[in-house]
A and B are shown apart, each in its own frame.
Chain A
Amino acid sequence: MRPVRFSLARVGLIAGNTVREAARQRLFNLFVVLALMLVLGARWFRDFSFGAPELRFLADCGFGAMAFFGSALTITATAQLFFSEIENRTALTLLAKPVWRAEFIVGKLVGVAGLTLLFCGLLTVLLAAVLWTREGALMQEFPDNFAQGRVVSYAMVAGAGAMQWLKLLILGALVLLVASFAQTQTFAIVTGFLVLVICHLQHLALAAYERSGSLFGMTASAAIAWMFPNFQVFAWADSLAAADFPGWGQVARVVSYGLGYVGLGTALAVFCFRKREI
């Protein structure tokens, strides 16, 4: 019998099926609608803004919606789509055919990547449109403040949107890793949210223990910092000015860091899934 080779076509089929299944779920639509409403509604929140410039405030709301609802979507969709295959026994049928377990895992991740790309792309375009419209109105209202032309760098907005997507992709890979050995969907979802919090706050723990000088604390926090990526590295959206666009070397380093974690998470998910009894 000839050994079956790893096939990108099969990965594509699994990924396509994952995206279709996710798009059919009400959860995806709910998160998309909520995020869109928040981005569009941010203009009405601006009365609550005390100090931040209006465009900065709008961008904060937009990227906040992308990060918050995007993370919730990634965690629940990844866990749900993985476990639905196990619980409905479709994984059993699928893996009985000449399909690698690695293809199954990579296909799921590519599907989640497509889903989050759709989500982040949609919100980034919408946010850019909201910023463009409001900036145009402000330019007419206060021409002196825009003597040099538009102040918002839309390349920066697009870059920040891409970074949000990369962050969600890493989160998806880590949730898939958890799901590959977890027994229940609830465990995978809860652990996914914990991973999200740790990834955002690990740098604080590291800094706090470094200040305290506790050897045990420093070792423990360093180990955590190695296992969980630092999501604050992807925080670009603090400035909207073109002058603050990071250098290409910096961009390459951060992107390779993100992709490195995606690769690591996926490889370990494949490793764990291969040992799993379905």
Chain B
Amino acid sequence: MRSRAATLLIATGALAAGGFTLQTWVTPAWAVVRARQPALRLDSRAVAAGQGVTLALLGGFRALVADGTWIRMYTLWEQRDLPAVETLAHLVTVLDPRPVYFWLNSARILAYDFPAWRIEAAGGYDDVPAEVQRRVRHEQARAGLRFLASGREFHPQSPELWIEQANIELNRLVDLDAAAESYRRAWSLPGAPYYVARMHAECLRRAGRKAEALAWLVRLHPTLPVADDGAAAGLVLSRIRDLEKDLAVPPERADRPPP
């Protein structure tokens, strides 16, 4: 018996000693793998998340488990189970942070659906004071923005995340300056749709920064492809004219794009 215990003790010690050398040897390679795979940089939520995460991390099935969790989240969303939806929305992005879809839709649920649920749970729109409603809207909008910021750690080149941020700032926080800045950031990324540049100018105009809006549109207009309907070069030109009129720009200083 003593001999068996001694054998196991020696084997354990040898395994730890050999493993120490091998772990030291592989450390640079592990650093590269971790840097390339964001899902391996998990926080305590992942440690506590239970069997779904364990299964997904045991080598593969990450996309499948994340999709299953997303479906489960939707059934809870129909029941308006706020804590469970919030937990699963976070869990889905921990399981598989690669699809932008999860980040966008989770942020929308946090920013648009949760305030409505909270206000209805507190007595409804007619009974809850306007100030409380405003506070709830702002709290949830900021939660949505935090979610989008986390998503940008994994997708720094995604214009969709900045567009969603701008939409929340515009529609929920009614912060025109912040929305204008977010639309501008979205426009600076590859693959951004043309309307984002127009929205930037529109936010500037509505914020009273008409001269900046005009300068932006004048710079933008020559870069727009005339043949592309989405670019709406004609619409941009008409907005330039409107702004020139509002700002009383003399005709000789007005923008004259080539015919």
Main secondary structure of the interface of A (DSSP, over half): helix
Does the CB pair B59–A167 fall under 8 Å?
A: yes
**B: contact size bracket:** 35 or more
Q: A49-B67, A233-B30, A268-B11 are in contact. Are A64 and B61 (CB under 8 A)?
A: yes
> Which residues does A use to contact B, with CB under 8 Å?
45, 48-52, 56-57, 60-61, 63-68, 71, 164, 167, 177, 181, 196-197, 200-201, 203-205, 207-208, 211, 223, 225-233, 235, 237-239, 244, 246, 250, 253-254, 256-257, 260-261, 264-265, 268, 271-272, 275
Q: Is B58 an interface residue (CB 8 A)?
A: yes
Give min CB distance, B1 to chain A, whole Å. Answer: 12
User: What is the CA–CA distance of A197 and B32 in the complex, to the nearest angstrom?
Assistant: 22
Q: Which of A48, A177, A250 touches B64 (beta carbons < 8 Å)?
A: A48
Residues of A within 8 A of B191 (CB): none
Please state if B60 and A67 are interface contacts (CB–CB under 8 Å).
yes
A230:B102 contact, CB within 8 angstroms: no
Across chains A and B, which 6 residue pairs bring their CB atoms closest together, nearest first? A51-B99, A64-B60, A67-B59, A51-B101, A64-B61, A226-B19
Interfacial residues, chain B to chain A (CB-CB below 8 A):
3-4, 7-8, 10-12, 14-23, 25-26, 28-30, 32-33, 36-37, 39-40, 42, 44, 46-47, 54, 57-64, 66-68, 70-71, 96, 98-102
A244 lies within 8 A of B59 (CB): no
Shortest CB–CB separation between residue A138 and chain B, in angstroms?
Answer: 17
A-B contact pairs, 12 of them (CB 8 A): A52-B96, A71-B58, A197-B54, A207-B42, A226-B15, A226-B16, A228-B19, A229-B22, A253-B25, A256-B25, A261-B18, A268-B15
B107 → chain A, closest Cβ, in Å?
A: 13
Please, which residues of chain A bring their CB within 8 A of the CB of B99?
Answer: 50-52
Task: Determine whether the beta carbon of B70 is less than 8 Å from that of A50.
Answer: yes
Q: A64-B60, A197-B58 are in contact. Are A250 and B40 (CB under 8 A)?
A: no
- Do the beta carbons of B60 and A181 come within 8 Å of each other? no
**How far is it, in angstroms, between the C-alpha of A222 and the C-alpha of B67 when the chains are bound?**
34
Q: Which residues of chain B come closer than 8 Å to A67, judged between CB atoms?
A: 58-61
Given known A204-B46, A233-B26, A261-B22, contact A49–B3 (CB-CB < 8 A): no
Asked if B63 and A57 sit within 8 Å, CB to CB, the answer is yes
CB distance from B46 to the nearest CB of A (A): 7
List, in ascending order, chain A residues with CB within 8 A of B68's CB.
Answer: 48
A232 touches B19 (CB 8 A): no
Give B26 Cβ to nearest chain A Cβ, in Å. 4
Our pick among A68, A238, A256, A260 for the contact of B58 (Cβ within 8 Å) is: A68
